């Protein structure tokens, strides 16, 4: 296994607050690595409302979720954070020397002096298709993510059902339909209305019109399999009028969007209060020394889940971490406007 990455601070979550945490730590000359389950930074801002304007960021009268993310990335860029995306922080082990061993689902390991949990409502993970017996299917029949490119070579003559109504689902269904090897490509969604982009809906309409793709407005109900439960034969579905249909299928591709799940964070031995981490309001530290929590994941008297509050929390957490990692030093407050040292760090003059 590759050696662990040694860092001052490991941040769990590249949402807006995790990104600002990088900046505040950087001003105090602390290096940070950030891990996120999503393939891109920005957390809720990018996943839930990229195009919606936010009106309550101080000094920015109006900014979209996407633009705020871009601005935060630009702001923390001088500190060159290690961004480790598309992976889940799965393990956190406090060590006797006060540092932490951290591991991700991609096998990335860290040796960190402090942890900041900026985990929001949890990791954004694919919403799973829950049907009795689905875990017994032999590999290759259920894809919780888009099929890899190029498409697998065993599609010939298969009945494939793609489930979902977002961009990924429509893209996958249309790609399979255009590929032409499947015997039948079906897109399944509870109603004939989609959240995907207009362009993809046009592509879907064209494929449906040409008979390359079938659409069924219904919800999955049960699996039909061989007696041993290993081979998928069909999917039982139910429509809005409670009519049930059996759709032949050898492959299921649920692309049901992402939803935040606390996941592994609940197993790290931290005391959670209604899925939130209680912290003090001077250091934003959990009951475990060296593990801080900022943004939507924390709770304290008067807590409000607002970006502005998360940014403040990240600022004070950074000072507390600097005190922890440099106990012999007085941590000075310097202004970004006037400090030559900060200008040097920021690469500005």
Among 151, 263, 283, 299, binds ligand FAD (CB under 6 A): 263
Q: Which is nearer to ligand FAD, 46 or 134 (CB)?
A: 46
Q: What is the 3-state secondary structure (H, E, C) of 88-123?
A: CEEEEEECCCCCEEEEECCCCEEEEEEEEECCCCCE
Residue number with CB closer to ligand FAD (35 or 216): 35
For the bound state, the minimum distance from the C-beta of residue 45 to ligand FAD, rounded and expressed in Å, comes to: 6
Give the CB-nearest residue to ligand FAD.
120
Alpha helices in 150-286 (DSSP H): 167-179, 198-209
Phi/psi at 327 (nearest 5 deg)?
-60, -25
Site residues for ligand FAD, 274-303, by CB under 6 A, read 295-296
Q: How far is the CB of 106 from ligand FAD (least distance, A)?
A: 10
Is 43 among the residues that bind ligand FAD (CB under 6 A)?
A: yes
In angstroms, the CA 169 to CA 277 distance is 35
- Is 213 a residue that touches ligand FAD (CB under 6 A)? no
DSSP annotation of 177 reads H
Say how far apart CA 338 and CA 247 lie, in whole Å.
68
198-209 and 167-179 are packed helices; what angle lies between their axes, rounded to 10 degrees?
Answer: 30
Tally the C-alpha atoms within 13 A of residue 171's C-alpha that lie toward its C-beta.
14
What x/- string results for residues 308 through 337 when contact with ligand FAD is judged by CB under 6 A?
Answer: x-x---------------------------
- Is residue 73 involved in binding ligand FAD (CB under 6 A)? no
Q: Which of 35, 114, 176, 279 binds ligand FAD (CB under 6 A)?
A: 35
The minimum distance between CB 5 and ligand FAD, in angstroms, equals: 15
- Subset of 134-193 contacting ligand FAD (CB under 6 A): none
70 vs 334 by CB, closer to ligand FAD: 70
CB-wise, 113 or 120, nearer to ligand FAD? 120
The encoded tokens of residue 333 equal 């407050």
Q: Environment class of residue 313 by beta-carbon count within 10 Å: exposed (0-12), middle (13-18) or buried (19+)?
A: buried
Binders of ligand FAD in range 114-133 (CB under 6 A): 118-124
For ligand FAD, which residue of 7, 22, 26, 44 counts as binding (CB under 6 A)?
44
Where on the chain is the footprint of ligand FAD (CB under 6 A)?
A: 12-18, 35-38, 43-45, 48-49, 54, 56, 88-89, 118-124, 263-265, 295-296, 305-308, 310
């Amino acid at each position: 296994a590759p050696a662990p990455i040694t860092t001052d601070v490991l941040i769990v979550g590249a949402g807006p607050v995790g990104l600002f945490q990088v900046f505040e730590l950087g001003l105090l000359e602390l290096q940070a690595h950030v891990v996120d389950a999503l393939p891109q930074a920005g957390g809720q801002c990018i996943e839930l409302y990229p195009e919606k304007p936010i009106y309550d960021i101080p000094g920015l009268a109006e900014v979209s979720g996407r633009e705020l993310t871009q601005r935060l990335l630009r702001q923390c860029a001088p500190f060159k954070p290690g961004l480790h995306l598309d992976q889940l922080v799965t393990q956190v082990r406090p060590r006797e020397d006060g540092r932490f061993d951290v591991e991700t689902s991609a096998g990335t390991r860290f040796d960190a002096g402090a942890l900041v949990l900026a985990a929001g409502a949890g990791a954004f993970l694919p919403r799973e298709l829950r049907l009795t017996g689905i875990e017994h299917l032999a590999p290759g029949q259920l894809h919780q993510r888009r099929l890899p490119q190029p498409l697998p070579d065993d599609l010939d003559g298969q009945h494939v059902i793609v489930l979902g109504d977002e961009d990924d689902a429509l893209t996958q269904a249309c790609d399979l339909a255009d590929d032409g090897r499947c015997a039948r490509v079906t897109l399944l969604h509870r109603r004939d209305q989609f959240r995907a982009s207009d362009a993809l809906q046009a592509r879907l309409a064209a494929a449906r019109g040409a008979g390359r793709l079938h659409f069924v407005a219904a919800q999955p109900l049960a699996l039909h399999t061989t007696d041993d439960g290993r081979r998928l034969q069909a999917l039982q579905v139910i429509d809005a009028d409670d009519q049930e249909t059996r759709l032949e299928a050898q492959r299921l591709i649920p692309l049901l969007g992402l939803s935040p799940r606390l996941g592994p964070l609940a197993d790290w031995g931290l005391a959670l209060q209604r899925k939130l981490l209680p912290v003090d309001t001077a250091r934003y530290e959990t009951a475990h020394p060296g593990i801080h929590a900022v943004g939507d994941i924390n709770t304290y008297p008067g807590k409000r889940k607002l970006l502005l509050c998360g940014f403040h929390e990240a600022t004070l957490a950074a000072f507390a971490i600097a005190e922890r990692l440099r106990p012999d030093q007085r941590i000075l407050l310097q202004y970004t406007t006037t400090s030559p040292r900060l200008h040097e760090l920021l690469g500005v003059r």
